Structure 1
């Protein structure tokens, strides 16, 4: 059977694009007015009549156009970097922000679908974790291709903590390096470090505290000793 690709929904893409275009245009117009005001305080007489006085329409329109263009570019970048989840009868292929993971169907024994999509193997190890997109469509797609019915509850939910002192020095260094990679936007490096932690029996998840802040939590597999 052919693979099914699940990504950001059309409504979400449209609202994101329109929102960023509007914000860019508004910011551009504001910057244009401020620039004209600052230039008017001096002896500047304008370039072809542009920006010679506060409120001069041509200068503001130019800056509004630049802001609109930047909004379009920002929206296109965010949409391109959002998770793309390709589900087939053979495997699940996850792609996001330069990182990618492919997991065979026969390895997956449980699935969590909430803010994240998490694929588990038999002993509770996380085979993959990525932010969920279009959850309703994704849920139906997974069931359609014969995967375990997704659960809203994560395995070991009550065991997650942000207290790094419970880990050994090596695991702490890897988690700190991963947090640094996430802050820098290096999702591919963060994914490699996540897999290293999985190999040590440490599962990690990232919770967005605010628009600019992420808290990383972890749990150890019950069968894994320090």
Structure 2
């Protein structure tokens, strides 16, 4: 008897991701001289000389090479899409989460509540701290069904929703170190540096600070004051 439920890309999603990128890449590669010819007619287009060179190419061999490169590019995109998609395996004993070759496992006894905010799957620990947060492409109803089926507590919203407040520079509730990290992170948000913002969010989580981003602003709640 299978006592696990896997959440991730649906079968139709997988078919689309596997089939369409190589086909689209092949079509673009085959017609690249023609496409480049259209592009050079656009005023002030970047890389104009490159497109002029591509438009000047002609012949069956060029189309074959372009098609091959397009197919390879499509396959690489497919591999990237699979690597970037969260795969969740829920069992009666634990939750296994895989993304970007990074695996994290949380025992059921350590999980207090699971919920989704927009497209983010969030797992809370017994102390109210975030154990995990990541983008999840599956529908909320599918995720909820998987967790409730295996006996996990599910919430339709953040159970601590009313405890968040807007962070401002030199907030009196936080140490200078935490305020500095939050300041650096807010600058990263405004610059669109999502990877840096995510790293800093995790660092702050270890210090007992849970963050909810909204309109490039940080709303925070403090679970504990472990500024170590």
Q: Which residue of 2 aligns with 1:69?
A: 72
Q: Which residue of 1 aligns with 2:208?
A: 201
Q: Which residue of 2 aligns with 1:221?
A: 222
Q: Which residue of 2 aligns with 1:11?
A: 12
- Give the alignment's TM-score, normalised by structure 1: 0.69
Structure 2 residue runs of 5 or longer lacking an equivalent are 37-49
Cα distance in structure 1, aligned partners of 2:217 and 2:20: 29
Q: Give the number of equivalent residue pairs.
A: 203
Q: Which residue of 1 aligns with 2:53?
A: 38
Q: Which residue of 1 aligns with 2:110?
A: 107
1:151 aligns with 2:152: no
Deviation at residue 225 of structure 1 after TM alignment: 9.4
Structure 1 residue runs of 5 or longer lacking an equivalent are 42-50, 210-214
Deviation at residue 146 of structure 1 after TM alignment: 0.9
Deviation at residue 11 of structure 1 after TM alignment: 1.8
Q: CA RMSD in A?
A: 3.7
Give the 5 Å matches for 1:175-214.
Answer: 176=184, 183=193, 190=199, 194-205=201-212
Cα distance in structure 2, aligned partners of 1:203 and 1:2: 32
CA deviations over 1:132-152 (Å, ceiling 9, x no partner): 23233322211111111x223
Work out whether residues 7 and 133 of structure 1, in 8 Å CA contact, stay in contact via their aligned partners in 2: yes
Cα distance in structure 2, aligned partners of 1:197 and 1:118: 16
Work out whether residues 86 and 98 of structure 2, in 8 Å CA contact, stay in contact via their aligned partners in 1: yes
Q: Which residue of 2 aligns with 1:137?
A: 142
